[in-house]
Amino acid sequence: MALHPTQGDGEANPVFQPLASSSLTHDPLNPPPKSEIHMSQSSTSVAVAVPYPLTESLPLSSNYLPQITDRPFSIDYPTDHSSPDPPAVDLHGEPPLGSPTSSNHPTFDYFLPEGRLVQLINSDQIPRYAKNATMQVGYTNLSSTLTSLCRPRVETAYYVGPLTTEFPYFPEPDGFEKNSSPWIPATHPDGALYLYDEERRLFTGTDMHKKALRDEIEDFYNYLQRLIHNDQLIIPSRNHDLVLDIMVTENEERISWCYYYACHEARCLFWLEIYDASYMTPSGLFGVKSPAHIKHRLEDLYWNHWSLFPVVFGDRRLPLDAYDELLGILTHGCIDVITSKLSNIPYDDDTMRKMIQLVQGAKDAKDGLAYYTAGITRLLSIFAHWRFLYFHGQKHARLIRDQTVYDKPKHERSLLITILSPLLFLAPDVHLREMDKLWTDEVIIESVWRSHMIMLLGEWGDMILWSTVLLSANVGFLAIPGVVLSNLSGTNITSANQVVIFTSPAQIASSLSVVGSIGSIIIGLLLVRHNRTKEKEDRSGASIYLYRNCHRIFGLEPIAIIFSLPWGLLMWSMGIFFIALLLFCFSISNYPTRISVAIMSVLMAALIGWCIWTTWKYTEDNDDDVWQKSLVVLRRTCGALFEL
């Protein structure tokens, strides 16, 4: 059954311009399907101009159909009005899906309804959590003056009839119960509504209580059956699910038929046409070439499919070996995190211990299978995606967190951080090394990110506290008689009884220390306020945060310098306050006091310098002398300035 809808007045919309054909190249890892071989021989374009079917029975509205924002690889098949509409082929009937017997090339005796576009999607592109469906209700203003304040006004009410014990999903006249539709509604544990056909193993999230959308889904299914029959395609396994969805393009000009198959035996997704794997690869991940590597991503999408549609019926249930596999993954991960400080496991050991208890309880459970299935498969999807990101099974697999898989030149430190780092007591180098370990190859571990942000927030809080204490000490120091000199001695009072204030060196130094303390407090408060919620970010949010703060020239150096400012300013403020104390002692004290203070000050300065030189002489990741490198850069910079 093919639909050829027109507008309400019987006239079709203006014809679209033909879409540009895409030149596809193939390698041994991605051989082209037979249908594409036929298209390359028969036509240079895989798209044709078709009229837009706008009807009242199938409204193109975001209230009914989600929009496509990230369009995957698609094929717009030609429309052939001269070809008959072939009957649908029962995939589960006889004869079985055999191999081609007459020709290696399919014949296009099937066609799409006008204005339809076939989209090859994966389970990550199901718009369940992005479509934000709403219901239409009236509104009543709370105030005649504040028209922006309004509350929903429900115009209809639902009454429970006498002796009513059954409550269907769709009580409308065209609902499923009255029409005996094979589509069964189900509620996801998160609350979303989806539908499935148990006999044909079909799943959809489309708003199926609208008859036009139900007919659209049925036409889509019949089209795929004709595609399999006419191309004589061999389905890898009969134990598979088919997900169908109806979407609209961003400009709401075309209806997209979106689908994917999920094979339970191979634990992967598959399609009837060639699928561009770049649409299921993260933007920052490069070098995906091996089929075994891509299989990890397909398994991730397979388990995500289970998580989206966790209903259990017949032989469609989660096998016990999936529970055992997850328990093994969690046990190994927990041991790896405990024994290695650079483990690349995505969770900490406490979290995985809790997961092990939950999985063991779910394995022994008898009821609530959909709830357990949704949770278990979500974890399996996460770990499959983790194996994909870390190149498991490849020669260049990332075995520890800070190991890169790409043969790229080492990023040299710029003059910016090389000069400023010694001035800030090498704190920027420490922060930069930690962030480089966090974001190796733009891949981040959520648990490590959270621990790092908790550590930073605690450090900034300590800096604020110590800076406040130092600020109070400076205020008290300035109140000591003799720090601020004046002519209030009786002989130097002017005729206008004005007191002339003289600035002492100790007062200047203490004032500088006050400024440094205030700067440390303000910057620390800003960093704490801005990053207060960053410890709760997931892996995606953390990557976005680092990406936005990564300079195209200096990389993460600017943000590392900013993170170290509270501590650097506090150290400078403390050092200047120490100088202010020495100036005060040497200016008003007697010689024995000066000598004893001088001896103690020299001893303390020697110990502090020895500590700094010994502790920060070498970086953690190499044996380069930090101070020698800083002096070399400083000499080069001064030489360049003198040449100018």
- Strand 255-263 with 116-120, pairing: parallel
Confidence bin at 89 (pLDDT 50/70/90) = very low
Q: Which two tokens stand for residue 189?
A: 């544990």
- Measured from the Cβ of residue 320, the count of other Cβ atoms closer than 10 Å reads 9
Higher pLDDT, 63 or 160: 160
CB-CB contact of 265 with 237 (8 Å): yes
Domain locations along the chain: 1-132+171-280, 285-408, 425-588
Q: Map residue 267 onto helix, strand or coil.
A: coil
CB-CB contact of 455 with 512 (8 Å): no
The predicted model scores a pTM of 0.74
Confidence bin at 538 (pLDDT 50/70/90) = confident
Alpha carbon 211 to its chain's center: 37
Q: How far apart are the first and last CA of the chain?
A: 81
Q: Which two tokens stand for residue 488?
A: 């209030």
Helix (H) or strand (E) holding 306: helix 291-308
Q: Map residue 469 onto helix, strand or coil.
A: helix
3-class secondary structure per residue, 249-274: CCCCCCEEEEEEEEECCCCEEECCCC
Given a cut of 80, whether residue 528 has pLDDT beyond it is yes
Strands (DSSP E) contained in 87-233 are 116-120, 138-141, 150-153, 183-187, 193-197, 202-204
- Measured from the Cβ of residue 55, the count of other Cβ atoms closer than 10 Å reads 13
Phi, psi dihedral angles at 501 (to 5 degrees): -95, 130
CB-CB contact of 46 with 76 (8 Å): yes
Confidence bin at 513 (pLDDT 50/70/90) = very high
Given a cut of 50, whether residue 563 has pLDDT beyond it is yes
Q: For residues 488 and 378, give the distance between their C-alpha atoms in angstroms, rounded to a whole number.
A: 78
- In the chain, the amino acid numbered 475 is V
Q: Which two tokens stand for residue 338?
A: 């405990």
- In the chain, the amino acid numbered 483 is V
Q: What is the pLDDT of residue 168?
A: 78
Q: In the predicted model, what is the mean pLDDT of the chain?
A: 76
CB-CB contact of 422 with 627 (8 Å): yes
Q: What is the pLDDT of residue 498?
A: 58
